[in-house]
Amino acid sequence: MSTRASDLSLGEQVGAVRTGSVTAEDLATQVRRAIELREPELGAWVCLSSTTAEQARAVDRGLGSAPLAGLSVGVKDLIDVAGMPTRAGSTVTSPNAVGTDAACVSRLRSLGAIVQGKTVTTEFGYFTPGPTRNPHALDHTPGGSSSGSAAAVAAGTVPLALGTQTAGSLTRPASYCGAAGMVLAHGTTDMSGITGLSESLDSLGLLTRSVADLRFVHNVFGHGRSEVPASEPVTRGLVWNAGALHPVEPPMSALLAHVPALLEEIGVKAEPLDWDDHVQTLSEDHVTVMSYEAARARAHEFDEHAGALSAPIRDLLENGRRIAGTEYAAALTRRDRSRELLDAILVSAPIIVGPAALGPAPFGLSATGSPILSRPWQLLGLPVVVVPGARTSSGLPLGLQIVGLPGHEDRLLDVGEKLEVLLRELPEIAA
C-alpha cells in the first residue's frame, strides 16, 4: 500500500483499512501530516484534536469493518465535538470544551470515522470572514461560512468535512474552492449539538473531493451502507442561469453555455427553468425569515455582548428585531405555495442545474462573496449537490449546483458524478 493511502477515494481508504493494507492509525497519521504541512498558509483549522491516534487505535481494535472505518473528518466549528470548545467563529462564546458530540458527529464516529479537529467558520455562520485562504489562490476568498471545511478538503488535506448552510454557507465555498458539496434537505438530519442561526433554514452539509466520494459517504451516513439500489435514471432536467435574480460573471456565464450539451451527453434532455418571479420572491423572503429567526436564536448574544459582535452579525440581529411577525408569517406562506408548485414541476424533470456561485472566488479576504444564488433553494429546504471540475484560465474553480426534491438525492448524485467527469475535461474558461 502506498504511503499516501489518504489520497485514495473514500471507498478505497475504507477498503484498505478493512483488508489490513493500512491501519486506521497510519491513515489518520498521514492525514494529520498533510494538514500540518498546508495549515500555515491555509488557515483552515481552529484546533486539531489531541486524541486522533487514540480514536484511530479504537477503530483498529473494534471498528475495522465499519462502513467509514479509518476515514478522517473535519468538523465545522458550529458543530459540537466532545472535548473541544465550540466557538462558532466568535469571541463571545465559551472557550470551555463541550461534553458531548453533536448527533451528526456521534453518527460518524459510530460508523468508524475519526475526528481530526474543528474547521474555521464565520461568526455564527454569517458574513464576518475567518483566517482561511482559498487553496487555489491564497489571496482570494474561500467563501463562507463553511470556509475551513471546504478549503481543507479542496487542498487535499482531509478527505471529508462537515459544514452547514443557512443561506449559501456550503455551496459557495465548495464552488470557490473546488470541492464537491452536498446540502442535506432541511429537516432530514438531527441538528442537535449545532449552533444555529435560523431554525427554518439551517441544514447539515458534507464536503468531499469528488461527487463519487460524496455519494459514498451520503449512502453510508443516510442508509448505513455504501451501496444503495439504483434509482430511475434522470432523462429530463431544467437549466437555470440565475435569470433576473442576479447577473452571473462572464466565466460562469461561459460555463453555463456548456451545460445543455453536457447534460445531453449523459442522456439528460435539457430544458430552461422559467421561474424568475418565484425565485426572486423566495430570495427576498429568505432574508426575512433568516433575519427574523436569527434575532431570536441569538438574542442572548445580542443582549449580553452586542458590542463584541462583528458589525455584520449585529446588523442582522438588529434588522431581525424590526421585522413584524405578520411579515415573517407571510414569507413562510409564500414559501409553502412555491414549494407546492415546484414539486409539480419536478415530477417530470427532477433536477435543476445552475450556477453554485456568481463566478470564481473574488480577490481579497475581507468578504466572503454573495450567497444570493442559494437563497431560494435553501428557503425551500431542498437538497443540493455542488459539482466541481470546471476551471478558469487562472486556475480558479467554478462549481455548478444540482437541486432536487427530498427523497431523490441519489438522482442528484448520479447526475453530478457523471457531470463532474465532463466538467474536468472542459478547456479552461477565460477569466
Cell matching residue 36: 500540518
Task: Give pLDDT, residue 31.
Answer: 98
pTM confidence score: 0.97
- Among candidates 359, 360, 361, 353, which has minimal Cα distance to 384? 353
152-211 pLDDT, tens digit per residue, is 999 999 999 999 999 999 999 999 999 999 999 999 999 999 999 999 999 999 999 999
pLDDT band at 1 (very low <50, low <70, confident <90, very high): very low
What are residue 45's DSSP bridge partners? Answer: 119
Q: Which three-class secondary structure state does DSSP give residue 153?
A: helix
Q: How many CB atoms lie within 10 A of CB 47?
A: 13
- Among candidates 144, 145, 161, which has minimal Cα distance to 153? 161
339-374 pLDDT, tens digit per residue, is 999 999 999 999 999 999 999 999 999 999 999 999
Cell matching residue 379: 428557503
Asked if residue 302 lies in contact with residue 90, where contact means CB atoms within 8 angstroms, the answer is no
286-321 pLDDT, tens digit per residue, is 999 999 999 999 999 999 999 999 999 999 999 999
End-to-end distance of the chain based on CA atoms, in angstroms?
40
Asked if residue 69 lies in contact with residue 104, where contact means CB atoms within 8 angstroms, the answer is no
Q: For CA atoms 151, 155, 157, 159, give the dihedral sign.
A: positive
Asked if residue 295 lies in contact with residue 302, where contact means CB atoms within 8 angstroms, the answer is yes
Catalytic residues: 76, 145, 169
C-alpha–C-alpha distance, residues 410 and 383, integer Å: 10
Q: Are strands 160-165 and 72-76 parallel, antiparallel or unpaired?
A: parallel
Cell matching residue 326: 405578520
Cell matching residue 83: 472535548
- Among candidates 35, 4, 26, which has minimal Cα distance to 70? 26
What are residue 205's DSSP bridge partners? Answer: 163, 183
How far is C-alpha 154 from the geometric centre of its chain's CA atoms? 12
Q: Which three-class secondary structure state does DSSP give residue 117?
A: strand
Instruction: Please tell me what DSSP assigns to residue 344.
Output: H
